[in-house]
């Protein structure tokens, strides 16, 4: 299924292939929630094969680019100075000096090149043995970490061993500030210089520092490094002071040390590099330069850092662990690893950040926040609820901006942006590049107003999973009510249909941005948008009835929420239009009138047609003409809502949705979807698990392999797909187990696929730990004896209470 050899907790890559290095760098990124660094080789710089990158969560900068006579403003996550830089060359006692080592130059002499990602401890190891151009053999072992306990520290240790020569090795350890945002080829026409006012200095013989400023957001960033060396291996065995020299080297954009170290057979030498990073946004510091110098000066050596770092990771695994056998389990561990180092329960909770769609692993999507929290928070709710609340607080802090956006568009309430960055304004670009045709095209994805429903959905589900009434009744209520107000405002009455309609939007499909030949973008009555809008309005009304009286009065007064407005919400929530055609739910009004696509013909001509929109545009055509979807749209409703919930929601709207209609609908779109998004596999596997086991397993395999095998063809190297990774975890936790949290109880309705009928996990429901294990034919559920409260469980219509220390084994139907 994937590239890379796997042990239980490691991913190993043998050999050096410049064509796949950028993919490995993304998959081997290390982070701690505050910042992350791609898994680039320390001796490399940005090139076609490599892209070192370090990103601080929530650190953006705005630039303006002139394209085709238009000034385009764009906000990007900032690629910060490269702290990894460590290169070396051989100076033998006899013979010519060697060149600076790079795997690209020495690929013919590489006898061993192995990378190993230890996800259990969060360490990236590298083992290299090479022969230089003069026939001399040198080996080195290298390990790095981005510290999970102290979120400002990172470290790199390298042990060099000379096999058949004596002399010295020259090592440069530096922080390189000559970096730009060039990690995504599609963005290379955009302004990419984000750092200015570069300065360097030295402090003590072994400390050097570099500081810089983001050009528009005015954030000062400081990195300070401490470089040390000793004779012996990095584990401290037989270590002694090396008889080497170290010189501090400073330029305008580079700060570091140049080491000259004796080396020979039986005399290995170890170089350790410890880096501290602070920004002017950090709390409890007098300034970033002083803080970085002080922190790196008092940091322990690599082994000491590794001890505390490993302990922090052990805690995270204990809190979030699951049991899934085989290759599937190995991939899920990698997915969980990347979720936890992008959104760290230890450090992200302290920050004002959202869920970056591509992690902190690259520059794709410019580091922006989309709707991916819809796929991430359901997992976090049941393991790290404080983290979920922090990520929703990011949205709450930007509620005023969402309200301003709605007002500017002529609506009421809150209109959240499709792409969000630092301050919550709409960051969706006005144009995007089709790399197949080379043309810049209008980007109308800002019309995906359904992102507001995702925000509201996350608030409601969080409250059900955690019982955190305080958040739901305060910041959560404010968001939910303002989003409901927006939907009621944008809906217009159509007397001909005797229904409310929502016009001029784009649904989750994303391919369809308008009608063929239409002068303006947007679609009418996107089913997903309308149904989720009705759900938001219904939940907002529920909330207004259940809020404590004092909070209700205060909130109604502050929001000027009148009985007449609530009456309109009730009316709209029951009379929004949902179009149908040929006995299935229409993706939007007029979808059934579009042409059918020759799917087999396009697959024969192009092979991979995931990005069918780009293919058609390059031919002078448009996907707007065809019944063809990029990813789940109508089918997304089956991902968000259990079958009984969805049926009740349609009934509220005055429509009948029985199993036959839903199955026809799913089948209809299944044959008309190109799966051009990594999220598509997650959603389809979830929805199909109850009825089409073989198809569900196929989509689950695609979701699992989407990043590790780069199924999208070159996108993962620009950043992992965080929503898909978290979605696969939640697919096991909630999808296959049929787990829901509602009405104060834990509901279970298992739907395991035969290929994954055995799994286990632990969750927290309203603060109480619950363990679930599934095997063919049975489900085990228990509450640990150290807990204090019982848990209400509902399975197959039967409700029972599990007291602490109790467990139940329940029969399940065998899977065919």
Active site members: 510
Q: Is 550 left (phi over 0), alpha (psi -120 to 50) or beta?
A: alpha
Rounded to a whole number, what is the distance in angstroms from the first to the last CA of the chain? 24
Per DSSP (E only), the strands in 151-241 are: 153-162, 167-176, 195-203, 207-214, 220-231
Q: What angle do CA 468, 473, 474 make, to 5 degrees?
A: 105
Rounded Cα distance between 432 and 274, Å, is 40
Rounded Cα distance between 442 and 807, Å, is 57
Question: Are the beta carbons of 85 and 42 closer than 8 angstroms?
Answer: yes
Rounded Cα distance between 554 and 558, Å, is 6
10 Å CB burial of residue 562 (0-12, 13-18, 19+) is exposed
* Contacts (Cβ under 8 Å, ≥6 apart) of 220: 211, 212, 213, 279, 280, 288
CA distances from 645 to 283, 639, 658, 809 (A): 45, 11, 12, 27
Whose tokens are 């005015």? That residue is 218
Rounded Cα distance between 483 and 534, Å, is 11
SS (H, E, C) 626-640: ECCECCCCCCHHHHH
CB atoms inside a 10 Å sphere around CB 773: 18
Question: Are the beta carbons of 524 and 531 closer than 8 angstroms?
Answer: no
Rounded Cα distance between 595 and 613, Å, is 15
Specify the DSSP class assigned to residue 512: -
Question: Are the beta carbons of 375 and 636 closer than 8 angstroms?
Answer: no
CB atoms inside a 10 Å sphere around CB 381: 26
Rounded Cα distance between 161 and 271, Å, is 12
CB atoms inside a 10 Å sphere around CB 102: 16
Question: Are the beta carbons of 672 and 581 closer than 8 angstroms?
Answer: no
CB atoms inside a 10 Å sphere around CB 654: 12
CA distances from 595 to 374, 425, 527, 586, 628 (A): 32, 37, 19, 14, 9
Going by C-alpha positions, the residue among 550, 413, 402, 398 that lies closest to residue 473 is 550
CB atoms inside a 10 Å sphere around CB 554: 12
Rounded Cα distance between 682 and 573, Å, is 29
Rounded Cα distance between 385 and 379, Å, is 9
Backbone angles phi, psi at 483, to 5 degrees: -70, -40
Question: Are the beta carbons of 127 and 114 closer than 8 angstroms?
Answer: yes
Backbone angles phi, psi at 442, to 5 degrees: -60, 140
Assign 466 to helix, strand or coil.
helix
H-helix or E-strand spanning residue 686: helix 678-688
10 Å CB burial of residue 814 (0-12, 13-18, 19+) is exposed
Assign 81 to helix, strand or coil.
coil
Question: Are the beta carbons of 313 and 122 closer than 8 angstroms?
Answer: yes
């Amino acid at each position: 299924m994937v590239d890379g050899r796997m042990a239980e907790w490691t991913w190993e890559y043998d050999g050096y292939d410049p064509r796949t290095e950028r993919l490995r760098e993304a998959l081997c990124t290390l982070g701690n929630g505050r910042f992350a660094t791609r898994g680039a080789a320390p001796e490399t710089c940005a090139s076609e094969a490599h892209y070192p990158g370090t990103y601080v969560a929530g650190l953006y900068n705005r630039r303006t680019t002139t394209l085709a006579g238009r000034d385009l403003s764009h906000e990007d996550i900032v690629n910060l100075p490269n702290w990894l830089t460590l290169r070396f060359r051989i100076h033998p006692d006899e013979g010519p000096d060697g060149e600076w080592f790079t795997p690209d130059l020495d690929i013919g002499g590489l006898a061993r090149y192995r990378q190993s990602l230890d996800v259990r401890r969060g360490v990236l190891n590298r083992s290299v043995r090479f022969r230089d151009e003069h026939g001399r053999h040198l080996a080195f072992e290298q390990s790095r970490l981005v510290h999970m306990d102290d979120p400002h520290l990172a470290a790199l240790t390298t042990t060099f061993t000379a096999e058949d020569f004596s002399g010295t090795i020259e090592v440069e350890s530096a922080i390189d500030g000559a970096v730009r945002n060039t990690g995504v080829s599609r963005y290379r026409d955009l302004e990419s210089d984000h750092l200015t006012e570069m300065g360097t200095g030295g402090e003590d013989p072994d400390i050097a520092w570099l500081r810089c400023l983001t050009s528009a957001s005015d954030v000062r960033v400081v990195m300070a490094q401490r470089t040390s060396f000793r004779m012996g291996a990095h584990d401290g065995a037989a270590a002694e002071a090396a008889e080497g020299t170290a010189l501090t080297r400073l330029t305008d954009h580079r700060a570091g040390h140049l080491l000259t170290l004796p080396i020979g057979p039986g005399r290995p030498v170890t170089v350790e590099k410890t880096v501290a990073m602070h920004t002017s946004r950090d709390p409890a510091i007098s300034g970033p330069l002083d803080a970085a110098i002080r922190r790196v000066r008092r940091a322990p050596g690599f082994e000491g850092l590794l001890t505390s770092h490993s302990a922090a990771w052990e805690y995270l695994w204990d809190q979030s662990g699951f049991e899934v056998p085989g290759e599937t389990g190995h991939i899920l561990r990698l997915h969980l690893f990347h979720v936890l180092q992008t959104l760290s329960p230890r450090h992200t909770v302290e920050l004002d950040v959202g869920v970056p769609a591509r992690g902190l692993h690259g520059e794709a999507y410019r580091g922006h926040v989309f709707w991916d929290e819809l796929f991430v928070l359901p997992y976090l709710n049941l393991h790290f609820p404080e983290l979920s609340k922090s990520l929703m607080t990011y949205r709450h802090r930007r509620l005023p901006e969402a309200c301003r956006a709605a007002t500017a568009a002529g609506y009421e309430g809150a209109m959240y942006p499709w792409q969000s960055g630092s301050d919550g304004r709409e960051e969706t670009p006005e144009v995007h590049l089709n790399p197949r045709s080379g043309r810049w095209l209008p980007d109308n994805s800002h019309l995906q107003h359904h992102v507001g429903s995702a925000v509201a959905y996350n608030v409601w589900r969080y409250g059900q999973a955690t019982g955190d009434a305080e958040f739901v009744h305060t910041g959560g209520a404010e968001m939910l009510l303002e989003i409901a107000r927006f939907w009621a405002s944008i809906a217009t009455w159509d007397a001909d249909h005797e229904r409310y309609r929502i016009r001029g939007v784009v649904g989750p499909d994303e391919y369809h941005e308008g009608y063929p030949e239409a002068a303006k973008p947007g679609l009418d009555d996107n089913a997903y948008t309308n149904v989720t809008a009705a759900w938001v309005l219904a939940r907002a009304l529920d909330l207004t009835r259940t809020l404590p009286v004092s909070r209700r009065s205060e909130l109604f007064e502050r929001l000027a929420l009148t009985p007449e407005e609530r009456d309109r919400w009730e009316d709209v929530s029951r009379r929004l239009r949902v179009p149908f055609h040929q006995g299935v739910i229409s993706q939007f009004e007029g979808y059934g009138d579009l042409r059918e696509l020759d799917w087999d013909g396009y697959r024969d001509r192009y092979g991979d047609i995931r990005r069918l929109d780009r293919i058609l545009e390059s031919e002078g055509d448009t996907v707007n003409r065809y019944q063809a979807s990029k990813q789940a749209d109508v089918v997304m409703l089956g991902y968000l809502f259990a079958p009984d919930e969805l049926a009740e929601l349609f009934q509220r709207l005055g429509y009948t949705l029985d199993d036959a209609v839903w199955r026809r609908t799913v089948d209809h779109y299944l044959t008309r979807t190109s799966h051009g998004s990594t999220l598509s596999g997650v959603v389809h596997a979830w929805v199909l698990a109850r009825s089409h086991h073989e198809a569900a397993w196929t989509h689950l395999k695609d979701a699992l392999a989407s990043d590790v095998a780069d199924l999208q063809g070159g996108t993962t190297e620009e950043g992992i797909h965080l929503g898909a990774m978290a979605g696969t975890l939640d697919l096991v936790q909630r999808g296959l187990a049929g787990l829901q949290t509602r009405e104060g109880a834990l509901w279970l309705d298992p739907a395991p696929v035969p290929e994954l009928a055995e799994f286990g996990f632990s969750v927290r429901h309203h603060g109480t730990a619950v363990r679930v294990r599934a095997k063919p034919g049975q489900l085990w559920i228990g509450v640990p004896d150290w807990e204090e409260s019982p848990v209400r469980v509902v399975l197959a219509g039967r409700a029972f209470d599990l007291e602490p220390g109790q467990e139940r084994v329940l029969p399940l139907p065998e899977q065919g």
